Chain A
């Protein structure tokens, strides 16, 4: 079954992620408008990056309550893999599918550059083509990427191995200097307790083809394509 990409007013990475998915799987994903109330049959749902609803109120807050998100939540709870990138991560957090919240960057600046990420979990459906501890270089482009969770939630994330990616230096060291936005514990991406929902601020789809200047993001889509073809 093809993947489904949710499109909100203000999404701007929906086409990029569709290109990456099609390159990996050979099939174009279904593009699903946010006003729809039902999803087509799909084994993977992607909530793409962008600025849904102009980031009004809080980034992702309005999109999290759009009609399609009830269907996304139901499918996520039933075990379908759901990938949220950047604004998609913000939306999944606001929808309660992932714990915590993405706050304004500590620097108050919009950060748009390549960062290094350390793979903390290589055993999820999203990251199985990476190796544990591998360092990827992919871009971030966000104003609200400062991950925050209360101490109890953070402890649960750590105990449950729910931290998928951390910002690091080129050598894989997790340092304050390598943290682009002030995220607690350098968290760049997390999975839910069941492991089928991943939210990440960096954009693997933006470095998934040699023409884009790098391919470190491509293995995520290769892994997903294999998983949904199986």
Chain B
């Protein structure tokens, strides 16, 4: 099965890259771009066959390496 992981900056953490993207979009005449937050998307192919075991394994990966929980949140989706 496959894990899809979104890693995003926590609320309140300044995101200068998101702000630069917002300014660039506004510069391209896209109106109404109120805020941009940039994150990461990671896909992992897993040998596990149990969804909950896979989710627990990926959560451990996020805590230990994939995300830095000082500034980042992670969201895990397990798909067959």
Residues of A at the B interface (CB closer than 8 Å) are 57-58, 61, 65, 94, 100-101, 103-108, 148-150, 182
Contact = CB atoms under 8 A, between A and B. Distances in A.
Contacts of B13: 103, 148
B77 to A, nearest CB: 20
A65 B68 CA distance: 13
Contact of B70 (A101, A105, A182): A101
Nearest to A105: B16
Contacts of B70: 100-101, 148-150
Interface of B: 13-14, 16-17, 20, 64-66, 68, 70-71
**B interface SS class:** helix
Given A100-B70, A103-B71, A149-B70, A65 B16 contact: no
Contact of A104 (B17, B64, B66, B68): B17
* A-B CB proximity, top 7 nearest: A101-B70, A106-B16, A108-B16, A101-B68, A101-B71, A108-B20, A58-B68
Contact of B71 (A106, A108, A148): A148
20 contacts: A57-B65, A58-B68, A65-B65, A94-B68, A101-B68, A101-B70, A101-B71, A103-B13, A103-B71, A105-B16, A106-B14, A106-B16, A108-B17, A148-B13, A148-B14, A148-B70, A149-B70, A150-B70, A182-B14, A182-B16
A104 B38 CA distance: 12
A61 B65 contact: yes
Contacts of A58: 68
A107 B65 contact: no
A57 B17 contact: no
A61 B16 contact: no
Contacts of B66: 57
A70 to B, nearest CB: 13
Give the most central of A103, A104, A148: most B CB within 10 Å: A103
Nearest to B13: A148
